[in-house]
Structure 1
Amino acid sequence: MRRKALRNRRGFVAAGIIVLLTCALLFLMARPPICTCGHVDLWHGALDSGNSQHIADWYSLSHVIHGFIFYAGALALMRRQPLGPRFALAVLVESIWEILENSPIIIDRYRAATIALGYSGDSILNSMSDIGMMALGFLIAARAPVAVTVCLGLALELIALLAIRDNLTLNVLMLAWPIEAVKSWQSAV
């Protein structure tokens, strides 16, 4: 029992170290620490240049869903491991995405293939918040019944779809296989 508790604790410590290393790497990548507008909003609901620059925005919902998905994946891959190591894996995957998402190739892809024409990448604050949103989703999925997690994920997708004509599903679709009709519909906001 003590050994499992130690592995669990080590997993959460590893997750914290991964977050700190990700923050440092984003800083070395010359990402702005906060919005270049000079202030920090808790919520930025407009789809403009402030998007992905503040603490939370409509895309934060997608990161909660990442947590749901990463919980299921980590559980499938590491069923015999306690929650901590599974959490560390999820944080690692999300952190890798945050680093890739802020690389020139992905920023350019967003500009070319999606409605995010002026996208310039995330501020470090927003990337850290995105990792935190994923962690929230992961921990919800760890505690909630599967049906509740699935329903909540669908609800978050629908809320984003209705609010901004975009969500995790469309984001992945448009990055992987852009469809001009979808881009036109999304732009008609």
Structure 2
Amino acid sequence: MPARPWPWVAAFAAIVAATAAILLAMGRVPICTCGTVKLWHGVVMSRENSQHITDWYTPSHIIHGFLFYGAAHGLMRRAGLMPRLVASTIVEAAWEIAENTEAVIQRYRDATISLDYFGDSVINSVSDIGAMALGFLLASRLPVRATIAIALVFEIGVALVIRDNLALNVLMLVWPLDSVKAWQAGG
């Protein structure tokens, strides 16, 4: 008999709520200071980037879910799907909190083309956690090849449209390259 999912759903919701509360306590704005909430905001070089529900970085968070599913599958073999999702949610929530510290925000400004980046709104961070959960659940149901294909389509597609993606984002935070920064800036 499968374990009841409701305690795990409650744990997921509690992690998301705690993350939102921490971000608010850190001074993050609940929604875009523009006063609106959009389902999609597609202008990367704007003060509204990372302020709405979804944007060009949402696919990166879905890929986080793919990667976390693979890692949890390997590291938590005896645990069920929901405990793995909760563990993955803790990791994603920790990233959302770390990403919105002044040190990481400044790193984005210094090392990437995100000169106007000033952190995520709380609604965007909560949506990013939801996107990770969606990716995690998709990876749990899709064949590995399909999951990899979707990740590649996301990475290549987003790179072609905005000259950024998860791989480039990580590269530029960890080991910034002037040639990549120039290409991202359109040079």
Indicate the residue corresponding to 2:99 in structure 1. 101
2:61 corresponds to 1:71? no
Q: Is the 8 A contact 1:12 1:85 kept in 2?
A: no
Indicate the residue corresponding to 1:27 in structure 2. 24
Indicate the residue corresponding to 2:52 in structure 1. 54
**Deviation, structure 1 residue 16:** 1.4
2:133 corresponds to 1:111? no
**Deviation, structure 1 residue 18:** 0.7
2:176 corresponds to 1:178? yes
- 1:38 aligned to 35, 50, 58, which one? 35
Long gaps (5+) in structure 2? none
What amino acid does structure 2 have at the position aligned with 1:23?
A
| Corresponding residue pairs, total | 186
Q: Is the 8 A contact 1:101 1:107 kept in 2?
A: yes
C-alpha distance in structure 2 between counterparts of 1:45 and 1:70, whole Å: 26
C-alpha distance in structure 1 between counterparts of 2:7 and 2:77, whole Å: 17
For residues 98-117 of structure 1, what are the alpha-carbon distances to aligned partners after superposition, in whole Å with 9 as ceiling and x for unaligned? 00000000000000000101
2:149 corresponds to 1:160? no
Indicate the residue corresponding to 2:133 in structure 1. 135
2:25 corresponds to 1:12? no
Scaled by the length of structure 2, the TM-score of the pair is 0.97
Long gaps (5+) in structure 1? none
Aligned residue for 2:164, secondary structure, equals coil
Aligned residue for 1:45, secondary structure, equals coil
